[in-house]
Amino acid sequence: MTIQLTQDERAYLAEILVWDEKRRSAESMAAHVSLVLGGVAIALAAVLTLFDLRDVVILSALVPGVLAGLFLVAMYRVGRARVNDRHQIALLARKLEQAS
């Protein structure tokens, strides 16, 4: 049983294949940089807070630092999920191209 793809579907698969060849490594690297920066932000906020334990420092250094770090870690998770999903689609597209 053969299924014909529409022009839009073929264009989308071609776009995914080009992305997988050219941009996957850059997006993966950006996600990893986000993870590193998130870890540094959390660690820096914790160290700055430990050196000066006052309420003002806790509110002005620890809370924003940890929130920024958690945001960057969340960006890593979303970025890696996107890269992995698109890579899986590209692998399936290549297998389907070879089979037909």
pLDDT score recorded for residue 4: 83
Tens of pLDDT, residues 9-21: 889 999 999 999 9
The number of distinct structural domains making up the chain is: 1
> What value, to the nearest 5°, has the Cα angle with vertex 29 and ends 86 and 73?
90
pTM of the model: 0.81
Tens of pLDDT, residues 24-44: 999 999 999 999 999 999 999
Count the neighbouring beta carbons within 10 Å of the beta carbon of residue 95: 10
On whether residue 53 sits in a domain, the answer given is: yes
CA–CA gap between residue 23 and residue 90 (Å, rounded): 12
Q: Binning pLDDT at 50, 70 and 90, where does residue 1 land? A: low
On whether residue 66 sits in a domain, the answer given is: yes
On whether residue 8 sits in a domain, the answer given is: no
User: Each residue of 9-38: b (16+ CB within 10 Å) or e?
Assistant: eeeebeebbebbeeeeeebbeebeebbebb
Residue ranges making up the domain that contains 81: 25-99
On whether residue 32 sits in a domain, the answer given is: yes
